[in-house]
Amino acid sequence: MHVSNKSIDVIKNKFPFVKYNKPFICDICHFVKQKRLLFLLSASKSKICFDFIHVDVWGPYSSSSIHGHKYFLTIVDDYSRYTWVFPLKQKSKVVKILENFLFLFKHNLRQQLK
């Protein structure tokens, strides 16, 4: 155990005759008080529709809907922020829906998907 780096600095300034070791990496400190790093804002910026899409699955919801849906898949286009919502019964359907989505919008909107 040791005093914090801040107090070491204070001691060093006030009492220059005190000897101390150079800053060292203390395992216990990291085990005890390591926090999460800050989340930086996303640097990617898109200039055309479908440059970049965000996808996420929400769920499971405790009570299934009238058709047995428990999840829903949300697709958000980064440029236009247009949202598509697809209700899902199982998570495994995501691949199929994404495939259909990409195919549909490649042909319908005539814009290059990346």
Partner 1 sequence: MTNLFINKGIIHQTSCVNTPQQNSVVERKHGHLLNVARVIMIQSHLPKIYWSYSVIHTAHIINMLPTPVLNEFSPHEMLYKTSPDFNQLKVFGSLCYASTLSTNRSKFDSRTSKCVFIDFKKGDKRIYFVKKFNQEKFLCLGILFFMNMFFHIKGLKILAMKMTVQTFMIKIKICLQKINLF
State the residues that interact with partner 1 by CB under 8 A. 39, 42, 49, 54-56, 58, 61, 63-67, 69, 72, 74, 76-85, 87, 94-95, 98-99, 102, 109, 113-114
Q: Buried b / exposed e across 69-80, counting CB within 10 Å, b at 16+? A: bbbebebebbee
Alpha-carbon distance values, 46 to 15, 31, 73 (Å): 56, 40, 22
Backbone angles phi, psi at 72, to 5 degrees: -140, 145
CB 72 to partner 1: min, Å: 6
**Min dist. Cβ of residue 30 to partner 1 (A):** 19
Nearer Cβ to partner 1 (8/57): 57
Rank residues 2 and 89 by Cβ distance to partner 1 and give the closer one.
89
C-beta of 83 vs 90, nearer to partner 1: 83
Cis? peptide before 60, omega within 30° of 0: yes
